[in-house]
Amino acid sequence: MQLDETHDAALSSWVAAANDPATDFPIQNLPFGRFRRRGETKFRIGVAIGDQVLDLAGAALIDTDDMNAFMQAGATRRNTLRSALSEALRTGSPKQRTLQACLVPQTAVEMGLPCLIGDYTDFYTSIHHATNVGRQFRPDNPLLPNYRWIPIGYHGRASSIGVSTQSIRRPVGQFKGPDDAAPSVGPTRRLDYELELGAFIASGNAQGEPIPIADAEAHLFGLALFNDWTARDIQAWEYQPLGPFLSKNFASTLSPWIVTMEALAPFRVPFARPAGEPAPLPYLDTAANRASGAIDIALEVWLQTCGMRNDGAPAQRLMQSNFRDSYWTLAQLVAHHTVNGCNLQAGDLFGSGTQSGPDPGQGGSMLELSGGGKQPLHLANGERRSFLEDGDTVILRGYCERRGFRRIGFGECAGTIVPARD
């Protein structure tokens, strides 16, 4: 990923809100999403700029409302549009008067899923999360021997992925406690969030034709925040021998904006594992991946309970981690997913797996932060949480910062727990 004039920190926009240092969407970002105005039925492709959405078709900058078709068109078209948008939206642009009529306040639109998601694979890229969880399920053998060699993943449910601000119905399922004589069915008692990133495929590959790791980045469109809600008691009972099923397929939540790989270029960092860890196999390794395969993205989880909301209190931050600590890179995920000839398609989604950090208090799930429920979190308003309760709103946030470049962010990925159906 090359740096160019669109990344220049000195660029400002005639959209005033885009110049706020705290905004997630300065002119250096320009993420893509699908929106519709109040009363409209059809979603359009838009770009976030400050607190506004630019209607790309209305501005005659694209000729489609099909995000998947736009993603399939590839990086050249995307880069050409990014350059045109940067020029048109910067201070002094002669196109200001024309484009002003194509802006819509973000508060006045409904956001949809960023694209049609045909297939969804969830990975397990944080060795810190894998180890933390492994200790709870397998105290004597927390990290299975294949973890350091294979980017572990499972095929998830695309139909139940929703967009930020959705309500999450507490799922019902089967579970069995260690002292129970038989399993029972009922609402989960151990509902949890998982702090993840979602990676979107741009152009796919023909079935039977693997994507070499050297070409993998060209098949990525961009990233969004992703919450893979999990019912831990259902998971513990069902996950062996085939892995997650009803504990995860009831709901997942995405943030509505895809931050493109081009926008993330200034925040690439070397990919390096701790001393003593094995080197990836040759099909998962290149000099370029070692030099800049990781991405410096700060990630946070915030919680607002029903009690906080009723008292007018803001959400409380529970933790912070960083995607640069991931054990596997995005390019490695693409290469491994296709090494057997699996065919990817535009709009396919990869979940990164829960992004936990190496330090105590950096767990990307409540399962980790509460020690499996044995050490409840003490909140500022006096409440305690081992797992999520009805009325709780979980908010994921992510952003990139680096000296000499503008801060960019992902917007929020929020979901609120509502009671199980009777």
The residues annotated with a catalytic role in the active site are 129
Cα 375 to chain centroid distance, Å, stands at 27
Which helix (H) or strand (E) segment holds residue 231: the answer is strand 230-231
Q: What single letter denotes the amino acid at residue 105?
A: P
Place of tokens 């908010």: 395
In the chain, DSSP finds a helix count (H) and a strand count (E) of 9, 26
Instruction: Classify 361 as helix, strand or coil.
Output: coil
Burial class (CB in 10 A: 0-12, 13-18, 19+), 261: buried
Number of Cβ within 10 Å of residue 10's Cβ equals 7
Token reading at 353: 């797996």
C-alpha dihedral (180, 183, 189, 192), degrees to nearest 10: 110
Whether the CB-CB separation of 199 and 223 falls below 8 Å is answered with yes
Nearest to 351 by CA among 224, 165, 215: 224
Q: List strand residue ranges (DSSP E) for 60-117, in order.
A: 103-105, 109-111
Place of tokens 């008692």: 189
Number of Cβ within 10 Å of residue 274's Cβ equals 8
Whether the CB-CB separation of 292 and 269 falls below 8 Å is answered with yes
Q: How far apart are CA 255 and CA 225, in angstroms?
A: 5
Instruction: Classify 90 as helix, strand or coil.
Output: strand
Whether the CB-CB separation of 384 and 377 falls below 8 Å is answered with yes
